[in-house]
Amino acid sequence: MSLNKVWKVKKLCQCMNGGTGLRKMFERNYHFIYTPDKSTSVEGSRTKMNMFQAINNALDIALRSDPKSIIFGEDVGFGGVFRCTLDLQKKYGRDRVFNTPLCEQGIVGFGIGAAVMGQTAIAEIQFADYIFPAVDQIINEAAKYRYRSGDQFDCGKLTIRAPCGAVGHGALYHSQSPEAYFAHTPGLKVVVPRGPIKAKGLLLSCIRDPDPCIVFEPKTLYRAAIEQVPDTDFQLPIGKADVLVQGSDITLIGWGTQVHVLKEVADILRDEFKVSAEVIDLVSILPWDRDTVCKSATKTGRVVIAHEAPLTSGFGAELAATIQEECFLKLQAPVSRVTGPDTPFPHVFEPFYLPTKWRCVDAALKLLNY
């Protein structure tokens, strides 16, 4: 019996076990196992933090180390919806941490102006789904400011934070992953952290970067992700992917929450099918690490890309196209994408929409049997 047939029988048995039904199986397996990051070699003491605490710590460091830094957005004064700015207004005052009107275009427009005038502007968009009214400001103003002025002016001191992705009950207006929209925009940098250490180091890098940056923070990780985070002021590189698991048979690529799903997939492939899977966290969407991705694809010859955003024009398409161009003669099977379908993000059918570990395992087995 082929690997695919064995796996389908296994899934059918799970589905029927105890009369749980297909939907409950998907709900049960939607939850990922979070594994703490041990790859960051930053010296010094560490404190146990979840991701929103690590972000709060990074913002605290930014405000303390740079007197020109300011934080603004809807409800940030009391900590925001996810408490990432908790107590910062008490510590640094209303002039440096303040609420704005409910107007994303105004938030980003103000941030551009403040950054141009020399402030270190850190804007919070309450949910990534709300960023669309500010698309013109981000794409036509922030991203182009340096270019259109012939490098005489820039708004590189602008950083935009936005919680993104599925959270379990967000439905169509609170669960989107819009990173691909901004990947098409030269002049921006876009990062997606997978946990507390990455969130702190990448956020500090973005705040100090000479270009405007967007940090998409997977909201389901705010409290689910817990690590021993370095207390010191440290930065992590933008544009450098992380190889989290070494492998030789197939490459699994994701970012944000999906990284943890793919690490479980690698465990399943190893334990049940004796398959060696390499897991890559892309870390940043723009710029992205072509070298690491293509090196892995060349080595394994098979690639699965997983992301929560819809299939058509998702950022996985860019990865697949590049791998096909750069690694074609080394590929043993077509590049596979496991994504959300081309529909609005659902509510009760969220478990069917997301790229669960079972869907990713199926995709991997198809490539291995190709």
Is there a single domain that holds both residue 220 and residue 246? no
Q: Exposure of 288 by Cβ count < 10 A (0-12 exposed, 13-18 middle, 19+ buried)?
A: buried
**Structure tokens belonging to residue 31:** 């939850």
Active-site residue 278, yes or no? no
**Final residue belonging to a domain, choices 206, 230, 254:** 230
Q: Which residues pair with 284 in a beta bridge?
A: 191
Q: Is residue 38 part of a domain?
A: no
Cβ contact 306:317 at 8 Å = no
**Structure tokens belonging to residue 6:** 């064995």
**Structure tokens belonging to residue 51:** 């991701």
Residue of 74, 124, 174, 350 with catalytic role? 174
Q: Exposure of 55 by Cβ count < 10 A (0-12 exposed, 13-18 middle, 19+ buried)?
A: buried
Is there a single domain that holds both residue 249 and residue 351? yes
Q: Is residue 36 part of a domain?
A: no
Q: Is residue 198 part of a domain?
A: yes
Is there a single domain that holds both residue 205 and residue 118? yes
Is there a single domain that holds both residue 248 and residue 201? no
Q: Is residue 37 part of a domain?
A: no
Tally of CB atoms within 10 A around 246: 12
Q: Is residue 332 part of a domain?
A: yes
* pLDDT score recorded for residue 228: 95
Indicate the pTM of the whole model: 0.92
Active-site residue 169, yes or no? no
* pLDDT score recorded for residue 2: 53
Number of domains in the chain: 2
Is there a single domain that holds both residue 279 and residue 301? yes
Strand 46-50 to 303-310 pairing: unpaired
CATH number, domain of 320, equals: 3.40.50.920
Is there a single domain that holds both residue 165 and residue 311? no
* pLDDT score recorded for residue 11: 53
Render 54-123 in DSSP notation, one character per residue. HHHHHHHHHHHH-TTEEEEETTGGGT-TT-TTTTHHHHH-TTTEEE--S-HHHHHHHHHHHHHTT-EEEE
Is there a single domain that holds both residue 63 and residue 107? yes
> In angstroms, rounded to a whole number, what is the distance separating the alpha carbons of residues 59 and 61?
5
**Final residue belonging to a domain, choices 205, 230, 255:** 230
Residue of 74, 104, 264, 350 with catalytic role? 104
Is there a single domain that holds both residue 50 and residue 175? yes
Return the amino acid letter for 105: Q
Is there a single domain that holds both residue 51 and residue 162? yes
Cβ contact 230:39 at 8 Å = no
Is there a single domain that holds both residue 96 and residue 167? yes
* pLDDT score recorded for residue 32: 72
Q: Is residue 163 part of a domain?
A: yes
**Structure tokens belonging to residue 206:** 């973005």
Q: Is residue 77 part of a domain?
A: yes
Is there a single domain that holds both residue 248 and residue 308? yes
Is there a single domain that holds both residue 96 and residue 196? yes
CATH number, domain of 56, equals: 3.40.50.970
* pLDDT score recorded for residue 272: 97
Q: Which residues pair with 252 in a beta bridge?
A: 279, 304
Domain residue limits at 149: 46-230
Over its length of 370 residues, how does the chain's per-residue pLDDT go in tens digits? 455 555 554 554 454 344 444 445 444 545 677 777 766 678 889 999 999 999 999 999 999 999 999 999 999 999 999 999 999 999 999 999 999 999 999 999 999 999 999 999 999 999 999 999 999 999 999 999 999 999 999 999 999 999 999 988 889 999 999 999 999 999 999 999 999 999 999 999 999 999 999 999 999 999 999 999 999 999 999 999 999 999 999 999 999 999 999 999 999 999 999 999 999 999 999 999 999 999 999 999 999 999 999 999 999 999 999 999 999 999 999 999 999 999 999 998 888 999 999 999 999 999 999 9
> In angstroms, rounded to a whole number, what is the distance separating the alpha carbons of residues 314 and 312?
5
Q: Is residue 256 part of a domain?
A: yes
**Final residue belonging to a domain, choices 230, 265, 283:** 230
Secondary structure letter of residue 34 according to DSSP: P
